[in-house]
Amino acid sequence: MHAIHHDQDRLVWDEAEAPAGPGHREVRLQVAWAGVNRADLMQRAGQYPPPPGASTTLGLEVSGTVVAVGEGVTGLAVGQPVCALLAGGGYAEEVVVDARQVLPVPAGLGLREAAALPEVFATAWLNLFMEGALAPGERVLLHAGASGVGTAALQLCRAFAHPCFVTVGSEAKLAACRELGADAGWNRHDGSFVDAVKAWGGAEMILDPVGASYLADNQQVLNADGRLVVIGLMGGRRAELDLGRLLMKRQRVIGSTLRARPPAAKGEILAALRDHVWPRLASGELAPLVDWTWPIAEAEAAHDHVRRDANIGKVLLEVGGEA
C-alpha cells in the first residue's frame, strides 16, 4: 500500500508496509478520505508524538469502507461505509483500528463529509458535555471558533441551546460563525476579548485551544463555578494563574486530550455521538463543514493551508476518492 512519509520539511506519498491485522475487536478499512488536524502539524514538529503502540504515520480520522473484521466485532460488516477516530495512521490507503472507534456513516452523508466528523465532533462532545459538564442554558466561550473543532462545538451549542460567544481571526470567520449560530463574537486582531465577553454576560464554560497567552483573560471572563477546558497550546504552555480569582469564583481549570485515551474511553465518546449527534446529522440539524480538499499526494499544500489559519471548518485529503 501507499502512505505519507513525513518529517519537519516534507510529506511524501510513497510505498509503505501495510498494518497488521485485524486482530481481536479490530477492523481493517480501505481509506477514502483523511482529515487534517493541527495535531498533525504538531507531530511533524516533534511536539505531539503518537501514544505507545500507535502508528507513526500522520492522520487522526478517516472515512472509508470495511474490508475485513476481526474476531469479536459486532455491528460492522465487510463493505460497510464508515468513519473512524484514530491514534495515528490515517494518511494511508489502509488502516486497522479498534471497532469501538468506528461509526457508520450518518444517513444521507457521503464518505467525503463523513471524514470531517470523527475528530472534531468527538473533541467537541468530550469537552463540552463530558469534561465541561454543561448544564442547561449555560453560556460558552469558544476560542478559534472557525476551526474544525470550533465549528463542530458551535453547532452543538446551538443544537443544545447553549448561548455561544466565539473568538476568531478575521471578519469573514466571524460572519461564518454567526451563520452557524454564534450569538456574539470577537476578532482577536482587535485586541483583548475581555470587555466584549463581560458585556455579553461572561461564560460558564470556555473551550480553549490557545493556552498560556489567553489564561489571564479567560479567568477574567469566567463566571462563578465556571470551567476552563484547555485542549491546545497554540499560545504557549506556561502562564501565571490567579489563584485568588480561582478560589473566590470557584473556577476550575481542566486539561484535556483525546488522542492518548484508550479504545474503551474513545468508544464511550463515540457511543455518545451515535446517540446524540448522529441523528442530528442525519436530519440536517448538524452538518460537517468542509473548507477545502486536496489529493493525498498534495498533503503539503493542505498543511500549509491549516498552518496559515486559512480554513473555516475541516481540511480533507482525498485518498481513495468517492464523494
Task: Please compute the mean of the pLDDT values over residues 121-145 and round it to a whole number.
Answer: 97
Higher local confidence (pLDDT), 8 or 304: 304
Residue 279 has pLDDT above 60, yes or no: yes
Close Cβ partners of 311 (under 8 Å, ≥ 6 residues apart) = 146, 147, 148, 291, 292, 305
Task: Please compute the mean of the pLDDT values over residues 240-249 and round it to a whole number.
Answer: 96
pLDDT at residue 226, as a whole number: 98
Close Cβ partners of 172 (under 8 Å, ≥ 6 residues apart) = 312
Under a CB-based contact definition with an 8 Å cutoff, are residues 157 and 148 in contact?
Answer: no
Task: Please compute the mean of the pLDDT values over residues 41-68 and round it to a whole number.
Answer: 94
Query: Rounded to whole angstroms, how far apart are CA atoms 170 and 174?
Result: 6
Tens digit of each residue's pLDDT (9 = 90 or more) over 172-196? 999 999 999 999 999 999 999 999 9
Report DSSP state, residue 176.
H
Tens digit of each residue's pLDDT (9 = 90 or more) over 146-166? 999 999 999 999 999 999 999
Query: Rounded to whole angstroms, how far apart are CA atoms 243 and 181?
Result: 34
pLDDT at residue 6, as a whole number: 87
pLDDT at residue 9, as a whole number: 83
Residue 321 has pLDDT above 70, yes or no: no
Residue 116 has pLDDT above 80, yes or no: yes
Residue 323 has pLDDT above 60, yes or no: no
Task: Please compute the mean of the pLDDT values over residues 282-290 and round it to a whole number.
Answer: 96
Higher local confidence (pLDDT), 322 or 75: 75
Residue 293 has pLDDT above 80, yes or no: yes
Query: Rounded to whole angstroms, how far apart are CA atoms 84 and 263?
Result: 12
pLDDT at residue 269, as a whole number: 98
Residue 201 has pLDDT above 90, yes or no: yes
Task: Please compute the mean of the pLDDT values over residues 199-209 and round it to a whole number.
Answer: 98
Average per-residue pLDDT for the chain: 96
Q: Identify the structural domains of the chain with CATH numbers, from first to last.
A: 2-117+288-318 (3.90.180.10), 120-255 (3.40.50.720)
Provide the grid cell at 258. Answer: 483525546
